[in-house]
Amino acid sequence: MVELALLLPLLAALSLGVVDLGRAYWLKTRLVSAASSGSTYAQSYPSQVSAGPGCSDPYNVVYVAQHEEGTSNGFDVDVASTSTGGAPITGCNTMTIPPGTQVTVVVSAPFEMLTPVLSHVMSGSTTLHASSQVVVQG
Q: Are 99 and 136 in contact (CB under 8 A)?
A: yes
User: For the ranges 20-24, 86-90, 123-127, 132-136, which has the lowest average pLDDT?
Assistant: 123-127
pLDDT band per the 50, 70, 90 thresholds, residue 102: very high
DSSP at 95: S
DSSP at 54: T
Of the spans 62-66, 69-73, 79-83, which averages the highest pLDDT? 62-66
Tell me the pTM. 0.86
Mean pLDDT of 32-49: 95
**pLDDT higher than threshold 70 for residue 105:** yes
3-state secondary structure of 103: strand
